Amino acid sequence: MPSAVDHPISVVASERAVIAGRLTAATVVISLTTGKITSIFDCVLPPSDFPEGTPYIDHSPHVLLPGLVDAHVHLNEPGRTEWEGFETGTKAAAFGGVTTVVDMPLNAIPPTTTVSNFKEKINAAQGKCWVDVGFYGGVIPGNHTELTALVKEGVRGFKGFLIDSGVDEFPAVSSDDITLAMKELADEPTTLMFHAEMIPPISDSVGDAVQHSEPPLFPHGALTSYNTFLLSRPPAFETYAIAEILALASVAPDLPLHIVHLSAIEAIPLLRQARARGVKITAETCFHYLSIASEKINDGDTRHKCCPPIRTQSNQDGLWEELQKDDKETVIQTVVSDHSPCTPDLKCLPPTVPRGTEAGPNTGDFFNAWGGVSSVGLGLSILWTEGQHRGITIEDVVKWCCANTAKQVGLEHQKGDLAVGFDGDIAVFDDQGSFMVEPSTMLFRNKCSPYEGRELKGVVRETYLRGQRIFSRADGFTKKSGPQGQLLLEPRTTRT
Ligand SMILES: [Zn+2]
């Protein structure tokens, strides 16, 4: 038997673990030299089976899960670090068992749209990350010549907007821009993703909810009414944008396409038909579309503003129905946070919500408030809470938030499962516990989330990164070592 000193290992075990997508007993052995899982046994081995002094914990009855891969977060550093940051965003992730986040190319300044901008971001991230961080690049008008170089620098995919992004430095792309990007990326190991909302021409728009005029969005009704906001971004925005993307798909038939944060169920048949005729396109949805319904959002409660909007209860039910379909059939394969925070003043918070402000001209105005929901690190518990009455299993959650998200960003050989050769990233999940969302359980920088005040079922007791415990609910963060997260800059090799 090798000595503990020569080959340091760490051992975690439980009667319940999700291994290769299946709930089973397991003992997981991780090399502390490489951080990789070196062996897995399908039973709980006693500590005496390992060299003396080996760190060993039997976590039964808690469930060992692969660390979650949140494939859609905005960390906003550098440039808008007061909105979020690598340190706070990744701590919030680790708190909720998320061991990998993939940062979106916009809302930091500069945006990740050129190699030199990407280098600035990498510099800003060094030494601050508590979990592993991957990066997306951005597609904006005129930057197609940077795209293949960004692939080589390690971006894990690209995102473009078909509608105003909310920040000046990340303009929307036209069909011509998309065509150029598709040609550049046609044979690259990457994924091209879209914020799929687009204002249809007046002849295609639905009823009088949208008027094609200046300003282009002309809401009818009180600006503090959630319903006014909802009507201003109807499902037709999503279906029109997706039809536009599908019309261009033949430019690069082998390039995987992906719709970020799908909200409207009306888009599902379009995507299903496209997949049936061989178009390589998938979609993700978000924790908030699966757990919040527009009928329950109080007027003025701008914590709920995001784009596309949170829709009705029946829309939410439709998203769940799609998600729970057989793997090969489903259009929606992943669930992500789209954690997109800002400072409370930009959220125009009314005095009726925690840390809201005195009434001002824009207070509670859904049209002036920044669009984005904060939830990084809460997703596992949000899904588990909502799933209690929807008949989901913990294996389902692992599929949507670990295995499939890892695959989407080309990390399927390293993350998203507990398997020999994979990183020893583990969430220890207490599926019976519960907790209240409050400032002490929202570790992101700005304590502003529509989930505040909700009790969530399912608590992450401990989080491991490469076999090292980085967080425990009892003891907090492991200060001794500091942030040990790595930047995932190895270029992708697979297209999924
Ligand atoms: Zn986003």
Span from the CA of 195 to the centroid of ligand 1 (angstroms): 8
The residue ranking higher by pLDDT, 274 or 219, is: 274
Res 442: pLDDT? 97
| All residues with CB under 5 Å from ion ligand 1 | 338, 340
Span from the CA of 107 to the centroid of ligand 1 (angstroms): 9
Span from the CA of 98 to the centroid of ligand 1 (angstroms): 17
Span from the CA of 12 to the centroid of ligand 1 (angstroms): 34
Q: Is 407 helix (H, G, I), strand (E, B) or coil?
A: helix
CATH 3.20.20.140 maps onto the chain at 67-411+443-449
Eight-state DSSP code of residue 173:
P
Tell me: the pLDDT tens digits for 340-362? Answer: 999 999 999 999 999 898 878 89
Query: Mean pLDDT, to the nearest integer, of 233-240?
Result: 96
Span from the CA of 340 to the centroid of ligand 1 (angstroms): 6
Span from the CA of 72 to the centroid of ligand 1 (angstroms): 6
Q: Which of 190, 234, 178 is nearest to 211 (CA)?
A: 234
Over 80: is that where the pLDDT of 308 sits?
A: yes
Span from the CA of 374 to the centroid of ligand 1 (angstroms): 11
Span from the CA of 262 to the centroid of ligand 1 (angstroms): 11
Helices (H), ranges, 48-163 = 86-95, 115-125, 147-153
Name the least confident of 357-371, 409-423, 443-457: 357-371
Span from the CA of 260 to the centroid of ligand 1 (angstroms): 8
Q: Which of 90, 47, 42, 44 is nearest to 70 (CA)?
A: 90
Span from the CA of 338 to the centroid of ligand 1 (angstroms): 5
Span from the CA of 67 to the centroid of ligand 1 (angstroms): 21
Span from the CA of 426 to the centroid of ligand 1 (angstroms): 25
Res 365: pLDDT? 95
Query: Over pLDDT 70: what percentage of the chain?
Result: 95
Query: Mean pLDDT, to the nearest integer, of 481-485?
Result: 91
CA distance 396 to 156: 24
Three-point CA angle 88, 159, 493, nearest 5°: 90
Span from the CA of 149 to the centroid of ligand 1 (angstroms): 23
Res 375: pLDDT? 97
Span from the CA of 194 to the centroid of ligand 1 (angstroms): 10
Residue 53: what are its φ and ψ, rounded to 5°?
90, -5
Span from the CA of 259 to the centroid of ligand 1 (angstroms): 11
Name the least confident of 4-13, 33-42, 295-304, 430-439: 4-13
Average pLDDT score over the chain: 94
Q: State the fold for domain 67-411+443-449.
A: TIM Barrel (3.20.20)
Q: Which residue has the tokens 């282009």?
A: 216
Res 214: pLDDT? 41
Span from the CA of 308 to the centroid of ligand 1 (angstroms): 10
Kindly state the helix (H) or strand (E) to which residue 456 belongs, with its residue range.
strand 455-465
Res 479: pLDDT? 82
Span from the CA of 372 to the centroid of ligand 1 (angstroms): 7
Span from the CA of 302 to the centroid of ligand 1 (angstroms): 17
Res 5: pLDDT? 57
CB 443 within 8 A of CB 471: no
Span from the CA of 339 to the centroid of ligand 1 (angstroms): 7
Span from the CA of 79 to the centroid of ligand 1 (angstroms): 17
CA distance 216 to 218: 6
Span from the CA of 337 to the centroid of ligand 1 (angstroms): 8
Query: Mean pLDDT, to the nearest integer, of 358-383?
Result: 94
Span from the CA of 74 to the centroid of ligand 1 (angstroms): 6
Span from the CA of 50 to the centroid of ligand 1 (angstroms): 45
For residue 435, list its beta bridge partners.
456
Res 6: pLDDT? 65
Over 50: is that where the pLDDT of 230 sits?
A: yes
Res 31: pLDDT? 97
Span from the CA of 290 to the centroid of ligand 1 (angstroms): 16
On the 0-12 / 13-18 / 19+ scale of CB atoms within 10 A, 275 is middle
Over 70: is that where the pLDDT of 9 sits?
A: yes
Span from the CA of 28 to the centroid of ligand 1 (angstroms): 34
Query: Mean pLDDT, to the nearest integer, of 425-441?
Result: 98
Span from the CA of 73 to the centroid of ligand 1 (angstroms): 6
Span from the CA of 47 to the centroid of ligand 1 (angstroms): 44
Tell me: the pLDDT tens digits for 173-227? Answer: 999 999 999 999 999 999 999 999 999 886 544 444 444 444 445 677 899 999 9
- Categorise residue 110: left if φ over 0, alpha if ψ from -120 to 50, beta otherwise: beta
Span from the CA of 65 to the centroid of ligand 1 (angstroms): 25
Span from the CA of 104 to the centroid of ligand 1 (angstroms): 7
Span from the CA of 287 to the centroid of ligand 1 (angstroms): 12
Over 60: is that where the pLDDT of 485 sits?
A: yes
